[in-house]
Amino acid sequence: MSPEDSSAALDACRGQIDEVDKKIVELLNERARIVEVIGDVKQRAEMRVYEPKREDAVYANILSSNLGPLKGDALKRIYERIIDEMRTLQRDRMNPRGGDR
């Protein structure tokens, strides 16, 4: 493959990644809006933000739908970070001065 062909192929792949990244951002923000609603419900019900059983269910859901090429461990690490950020969003919304209920 010539350097020009390689460059064109990389540019095409990077363009695809840019489009996928935009979709991921859109989906993460959609997820965050749902998390805000959940936070409102939890606040009215005086529930805690952290629910380990629910997080386990999320992990089970994503792992059962994973067809690769990401390994389950990698996907779980990614979701651990997503869940952590969503939990922070929910906690901040429920108690702007900090702390968990």
DSSP string, 30-98: HHHHHHHHHHHHHHHTT--S--HHHHHHHHHHHHHT--SSS-HHHHHHHHHHHHHHHHHHHHHHH-TT-
pLDDT of residue 85: 97
User: Per-residue confidence at 101, pLDDT binned at 50, 70, 90?
Assistant: very low
Question: Is domain 3-94 annotated with CATH 1.20.59.10?
Answer: yes
pTM score, whole prediction:
0.86
Asked if residue 99 has pLDDT above 70, the reply is no
